Amino acid sequence: MPFLHVTLRGATDLPSSDFSLVGGKSDPYVIFKLNGTKHRSPCLKNTLNPVWDPPEHYVFPVSDAASAVLNVEVYDMDTLNPDDLLGTLVVPVAKFADEMEVSTLENYPLSVASEFSSQKRNSTLLLEICLKEVDDQERRVYVWENESWSMGNGWKPTNNSERRQWSAYDDSATSATFSEVAPRAPANMTGSGWQYCSNRGDSQGWSYAKTFAGPWTPNKPAFSFVRRRLWENTFKRESD
């Protein structure tokens, strides 16, 4: 049975569901459904152009790729009223069947909900999708590499009390030594080796920000003083 791997990276120009004195905003989250499997992303607050960083990754079993359809719904979270549907997307799984194991990164246009049509939004959802013959036989682990910029030294590995050159994926640990923060190999699995994620950030995988609190961008702004890139290692279960 194949498995559809879906990575949620971001969205652009979403409708404004909530209005205030400082303008419109939404608190978007995304729901993915395929057959009986459903996944929901974290909610990002006060943004019409959300970026899930790190990206959210979901896996769906696919019994029949020719007929299966991935249904996507983008909502605005509301604490007092029912959540508002901002837009929808339908992706036939068959479009990925001819290129198994090949990841496709694409900006998908959303069908904006009718109640927001007057805003004339060109809403899109950035998804990376791949149809694979892999489920729990594969596991990816991650480590952040951190650098800071100064006038005299340019870009150098970060080394201060709060953050050093290497950080755990969840920022639970940081060290000048890679092995001190790198996750251990999962039991009975063999890694393919560490490499930086080339499908995010600039040509060398770096994302930039003023501080490590973000927000992060793949294009270096004039006043960016920190950068980071994600390293990954893919482990596969050993054959019996």
Q: Across residues 177-187, what is the average pLDDT?
A: 89
Domains of the chain in start order, with CATH, are: 3-132 (2.60.40.150), 138-237 (no CATH)
Average pLDDT of every residue of the chain: 88
Number of other CB atoms surrounding residue 215 within 10 Å: 13
Euclidean distance between CA atoms 72 and 190, whole angstroms: 34
Tell me the per-residue pLDDT of 125-168, one tens digit each, with 9 for 90 and over.
999 999 987 655 677 788 999 999 999 899 999 999 889 999 98
* Confidence tier at 93 by pLDDT (50, 70, 90): very high
Q: Across residues 198-218, what is the average pLDDT?
A: 84
Residue 177's pLDDT is 96
| pTM for the predicted model, two decimal places | 0.59
Euclidean distance between CA atoms 208 and 221, whole angstroms: 7
Residue 21's pLDDT is 42
